[in-house]
Every structure is written in structure tokens, then in C-alpha cells.
Amino acid sequence: MNSLLISPLRNGDARSAERILAHYLVEREQADRLRNASKDERKTLYTAVYDEMLRRVPDHPRLTRKHSPGLAEAAVREVMRPLLPMLNSDMRFLEIGAGSCALSIAVAPHVRRAIAYEVSNEIVKNVQLPENCCVLIGDGTSIALPDASVDFVFSNQLMEHIHPDDALAQLMEIRRVLAPNGRYLCITPNAVSGPHDVSLYFDNQARGFHLKEYTIRELSNLFKSVGFHRTHVLGYSRGFSFGIPLWLATLVESILNMLPHGIRRTIGTRWPLKAIVGIRIMGLR
């Protein structure tokens, strides 16, 4: 583990190779705790391992973005552009895996209520929220909200962080808190072009906090299994979302999966294929 598989700067990370290695070793250690934990242990472990990792890796991108307004604002603008047309002033909005809450704060002026759900106390420490926005700390699977209490659920880079044995339970909770005709938009990296966590610098498979990276086919089937009556695959390019037939998205996945790992990772994370296989799936309650 003396060399990096790809350049950090190519991936937008300005840290030294030594600091990325230190991050990787801490994250892999904490991720293994989650992978090997029982279901009951994981109820409190998600919060513990994320807080521990952020304490031990003070230059983690989640923390540096929090303290770098320019980076945070650019990231929020990128997400808000296609999200904004889906919002309305009477909407109750829930973001799962809110991080620094920057997106929930940006959404708040456009909805009736915004709720930022997180497992880490460290990442939301000292965050200033508008009056119609609140933070909800949870165990990673259960959501302490009443049935049918929100209209729109959003997650960005979250599903891959959930233990695969807990993914079904979390999706059932999301469907439970959604009102009739409510929607869940899930954005997550595609396993075909992975890994996408800090492992990408050292391994050909996710070994860090991406406990499972999914394909579009897997997620579509998972959504349907918990009772979402319809799912839509959305493509994304230059700030705009557009519908993609499921058959086309899964066909592209299958073709990419036949290629050598290095090639499919390179072309699968670049336009135009990224617009198709960068997973954005919408579930309708």
C-alpha cells in the first residue's frame, strides 16, 4: 500500500498521499467495526464510528467543506439546481445523511419545513439553522418521525454508507414517513464504476464507509420490494435531470461490467456515461 492507484488531485483532493493513507486506515478500521457488528450493536455504532473517524481525521473532506464556505456553496448549488423544481412552499422535506446541513438550510426557504437527519453529532456541531429547519440525530436506520409526516425525502451519497443488512429497514422507514404520493430521491454512486469512497486510492473494492455500492438494477428491485409503487431512473448532466428508461440504464451497466476494472472506472465516472449510470433513482409512495 505504498502507492496510490489514482492521483488525489485528479479526484479533487488536495491532501498529501500520507494524509489520505492515514484517513483510509482509520476509515477502514471503523468500517470493519460496522461490517462485523450485530444488528443490535449497529443501532448505536453508526454514530460512534462516524464521530470517532471525524475526530481522528480532522482534514476529512466533510469537515473541510464545512469550514470552507466557497466549497460548500458550490456543492449545494450543484445539487439545488435540479432539485429546486421539485420543491414547493407547502412541502415537508427530509434530508437523510445531511452532513453539515448546508443543503437542508438552502432548501428551507422553499418549503414549509426542512428536517436534516444525521448519525454524527460531530458534523452538525455549531450549525446555525433557520426557524423552519431542525436536526434529527438517529441510529442510521430508524427515523423518529410519525407515519406520513413528510412529502419529499432526499439523500445524496447515503445509501452506500448503510450496512446492506440495514438497507431494507431504512427504506421501509423512508416509505413509512412519506405521505401518500410522496417521493424519495436517492443519489448514490454506481458499483460498476467504483469504488467511490477513500478506497479508490488503494483498492479495487470499497473497504471504507461505503459498506455496499449498488447498481441501478439492485436499487430498483430494493425500492419495489418495500412497496414503492413506481421507480424512475433520472440522468443528470450540466445541472439538468432527465428520465432514462430502466432497460437502457441496466444495459449500459451490463456492458460496462464486462470491461476491465480500470477502464470501466475511468469511463463510467466521465460524461456521458456518468450521466446515465451515476445513480439517481426516484421512488413514488
Residue 219 near residue 162, CB atoms below 8 Å: no
pLDDT of residue 206: 93
Report the C-alpha gap between 15 and 46 in whole angstroms: 26
How high is the mean pLDDT of the chain?
90
Note the pTM of the prediction, 2 decimals. 0.90
Tell me the domains of the chain and their CATH numbers. Answer: 9-222 (3.40.50.150)
Paired residues of 152 in beta bridges: 93, 183
Q: Which residues contact 120 (CB under 8 A, 6 or more apart)?
A: 47, 50, 51, 54
Rounded Cα gap, residues 66 and 72, in angstroms: 6
pLDDT of residue 6: 61
| Of residues 153, 160, 150, the one with CA closest to residue 222 | 160
Q: How many CB atoms lie within 10 A of CB 112?
A: 13
Cite the beta strand spans of the chain per DSSP E.
Answer: 92-96, 113-118, 133-137, 150-156, 178-188, 230-237, 240-244, 279-284
**Running along the chain, 285 residues long, what does each successive block of 10 average in pLDDT?**
56 82 95 94 89 92 73 84 94 94 95 94 84 92 95 95 92 97 96 93 92 95 94 85 92 94 89 87 95
What single-letter DSSP state applies at residue 60? -
